[in-house]
Chain A
Amino acid sequence: MKQMKQSTLRRLISIAMLVVLIILFSALAGTKFLNANNFIEIVRDTSVVAIVGVGVTYAIITAGIDLSTGSIMAVVGMTMANIYAYTLWPIPIMILLGLIVGVLCGLFNGYIIGKIGIPEFIGTLATMTIFRAVTYIIAVKDANGVIMSQPMNISTYAVLGYAIGPFYFVVLAMIFFVVAGQILLKYTRLGTNIYAVGANKKAAALSGIDVAKTRMIVYTIVGLCAAVGSVFTTARLQSATTAIGDGFEFNPIAAAVVGGVALSGGSGDVVGMLIGALFMATLESGVQKLDMNNAYQYVIKGVIIILVVMFDAAYKNRMDRAAKEQGAKEGME
């Protein structure tokens, strides 16, 4: 009790960053930014990032990364588009098959990382191009063989993009994923194992944890999350194109990093990632409402990630040293 828990302090810092950002934009853009509808929009824009972010958070806690989420979304979207275009199967079956494809993509990542031992960022960088290429290969084509955007506007599907009152379905799904994701992380053996693998693989193995299996499960979960993200994205757009999720992989990683999920592994949680995702969506919205060139958000996001990571690295260094000194002192009591 002598000092605040490191993770609590980090949580407070991310919340403070979010609050400062909201105050800043409110001051600069006034009611254009500060109104209920805008906040509903911000939360809606946060949702897909946060859903995919649950899986990505797991991956980062195991000291990994996943760069292929955007491409998995594309494959899943295009799978569903094919079913939509060429079959009369019911919508739930279409969605189910889409999710299965996402899980398989994740499983493939998990296999090459967990079993073969390819470094995470190289492996998922490779599958990022593979899944994108597959998307082009299976893309729905018109009579002349030219890739086209497949409309998916049947009401039973498009309804997923709608809202009940102020609550979009995607927001409800996000809430479900964040809550379930946090529970899985904190109250199941898998969750504990994820932390253990990220903090110290050797020690985890010594304690009887199957490291390869844990990593495989984690990347499979990422695949599932990306697939769900794809379902909501295509439902909102009411169409599927080969460009779905292009560059998307950046967002959940950025959200997690800003929310205090350390890339060195073993720390952070889903709630932190959610705050990070809200921060990023707020930033986007603010840049828009200030009528700034949309491009500024890319620069600002990049700079913020570097600053946050630099801060975390320096801070961790200090805390480690403090812990050592504390340990030496406490021996005495």
Chain B
Amino acid sequence: MANHETILEAKGIYKSFSGVPVLQDVRFEVRRGEVHALMGENGAGKSTLIKIITGVYTKDDGQIYWEGKPVEINNYQDCQKLGVACIYQELSVIPPLTVAQNVFLGREPKNAFGLIDHKKMNEMTQELIDKYEFPLKPTTIVDNLGIGQRQLIEILKGLSQNSKLLIMDEPTASLSGKEAEMLFRIITTLREQNVSIIYISHRLEEVYRLSDRLTILRDGKNEAVLQKEEIVPAKVIKTMIGKEVDESAGSKKMLHSEDTEVRLDVQNLTDKADRFRNISFQVHRGEILGFGGLIGAGRTELVRAIYGVDQAQSGTVILDGKTLSPSPKNSILAGIGFVPEDRRNQGFIPLLSTTRNVALTNYDILPKNGLSVSDAAELEMSKKAISSIDIRPADPGKQVGVMSGGNQQKVVLGKWLMRDLNLLIVDEPTAGIDVGAKDEIYRILEDLARQGVAVIVVTSDLQELIRVSHRILVMRKGDIVKEFKNVEVTQSKVLAAGQGVAEEEEAS
């Protein structure tokens, strides 16, 4: 088990991006053979800290010590040499090669003729596999393996380079329950073998189960370092959110919604890949319904199915009393607008102008001269969008690809405002955009609700969720687990529901 020898220590770390402080006087310490969890809300500085440790970013100030000696880490190679391996979320295994070939990629043992010695390579891999008890075989082609096992190969690759510290960033994000179990078992074995692990996760239950100690960051500062016995869900949530924050105006609200006429009625919607199941809920006229929960809880998949980008396995979507046959085209004609999660890849056409992007979904309502689209009407619509939501630059001919994130999002949203909507679905509407544009977008959503549009907001930003929602549903692992309706809601309550922490426990 964990002894008290420190393997990695970062002291007084400062980092800011273009004047905005991201890390301030952060101290982080990992001991040999411990699983050390790192938690914090989005933007708390976790990934920046990790990127400094792995040499992706350079720190502004502070010092890193490795096994007691001060070290400079300027790139990933430096950190590999020390014995730190980072298991990337985006896996870097090569599917057509065998497990052994992947583990020793670029460092293959050679025989007397200068050719790769497959036998030796397989033996070396088998040794590692035996030592750490991985459920793998050296000769298996990776193509035939699931994501969980591919992740294990990454870990094995790190271990083959004698890594003493593994960094795992949200390792269970795309794993099934069984695959996650396998990973947890491996982590336990690694700990017994004196390998240290930095475990970054949003999922409290995992942290609770695995970690020996837990460092919590908030707003770029150390909030707490908790010992194993102190890692109690309610306490962790309170620490992450911060007492003063939870009490402050922005993160506490008395929800208020009235059961006016039902606009959207979703009945028993179930996903093909089981990412959500048997989902039923309603949205009323003029209501903003917020969806909370962790990333990967199935919210994005759910709204995509409602809009008809993905086909659901079963279930019905009824809008204003009419059953929809799901496809983007049908949804648009029925008066549904959709702002997707991944703006750059799904939201707009970068090479085209604001005018063309705004008009893209609106050719059915734009006047035509015979067969041709009226350029004048198109331009007029674009100007209207620009002035009504303040898109900058106010140039209808500007390529959207070169605009700022906030303005891109306004273009994406703006095209829906040009037509009569009955339902608007927005997924992470303000991710990566500046404060001014955020407020503008909230105002637009509220205006729409006032006009009687039903609005669904999916967001991982708790403050935003509470700020805009009239009613909140929380999803966890593909199910709706909690409804907040006409009650006082706080960030920690939403977070606890998303983490599956029971209410009594949370209250204690």
Contact = CB atoms under 8 A, between A and B. Distances in A.
Contacts of A333: 135
B101 A192 contact: yes
Given A187-B116, A188-B116, A331 B96 contact: no
B93 A208 contact: no
Contact of B118 (A3, A187, A319, A328): A187
Nearest to B176: A328
Judged by DSSP, the binding face of A is: helix
Contacts of B91: 203
B294 interface: no
Given A7-B141, A192-B108, A203 B146 contact: no
Contact of B116 (A192, A267, A324, A330): A192
Interface stretch (B178-186, B215-223, B393-401): B178-186
A54 interface: no
Interface string A239-261: 00000000000000000000000
A203 B115 contact: no
Contacts of B180: 331
Contacts of A5: 141, 144
Contact of B92 (A188, A206, A267, A327): A206
A318 interface: no
A259 to B, nearest CB: 15
Interface stretch (A39-47, A98-106, A193-201, A283-291): A193-201
A273 to B, nearest CB: 15
A202 interface: yes
A206 B135 contact: no
B97 A192 contact: yes
B270 interface: no
Interface string B152-180: 00000000000000000000000110111
B97 A330 contact: no
Given A195-B97, A208-B106, A328-B176, A323 B143 contact: yes
Contacts of A319: 143
Most chain B C-beta atoms within 10 Å of own C-beta, residue among A183, A267, A323: A323
A204 B108 CA distance: 15
Contact of A196 (B90, B105, B149): B105
Contacts of A196: 94, 97, 105
B95 A200 contact: yes
Contact of A266 (B95, B106, B116): B95
Contact of B106 (A7, A186, A189, A327): A189
Nearest to A333: B135
B147 interface: yes
A164 interface: no
B88 interface: yes
Contacts of A186: 116
Nearest to B139: A5
Contacts of B90: 202
A21 to B, nearest CB: 27
Contacts of B181: 331-332
Interface string A308-333: 00000000000100011111111111
A327 B179 contact: yes
A138 B330 CA distance: 62
B293 to A, nearest CB: 22
B116 A328 contact: no
B179 to A, nearest CB: 4
B148 interface: yes
B145 interface: yes
B116 A323 contact: no
A35 interface: no
Interface in B358-378: none
B146 A328 contact: yes
Q: How many residues of B sit at the interface, in one of the four size bands?
A: 20 to 34
Contacts of B150: 327
A200 B145 contact: no
Interface string A258-285: 0000000011000000000000000000
B115 A206 contact: no
B115 A183 contact: yes
A46 B145 CA distance: 37
Contacts of B176: 327-328, 331
A323 B115 contact: no
A203 B94 CA distance: 7
B118 A200 contact: no
Contacts of B94: 195-196, 199-200, 203-204, 207, 266
A324 B146 contact: yes
B76 to A, nearest CB: 9
Nearest to A203: B92
A200 B92 contact: yes
Contacts of B179: 327-328, 331
Nearest to A2: B144
Interface string B120-151: 00000000000000010000010111111110
A202 B106 contact: no
Contacts of B92: 200, 202-203, 206-207
Nearest to A266: B96
A6 interface: yes
B135 A330 contact: yes
Given A188-B116, A331-B176, A209 B141 contact: no
Given A187-B116, A323-B144, A332 B178 contact: yes
Contacts of A206: 88, 92
A80 to B, nearest CB: 33
A195 to B, nearest CB: 5
A149 B116 CA distance: 47
Nearest to B115: A187
14 contacts: A7-B141, A189-B106, A192-B97, A195-B97, A196-B97, A196-B105, A206-B88, A206-B92, A325-B146, A327-B145, A327-B148, A327-B149, A330-B146, A330-B149
Given A266-B95, A330-B149, 13 more contacts: A3-B144, A188-B116, A192-B101, A192-B116, A196-B97, A199-B97, A323-B145, A326-B146, A327-B145, A327-B148, A327-B179, A331-B146, A331-B149
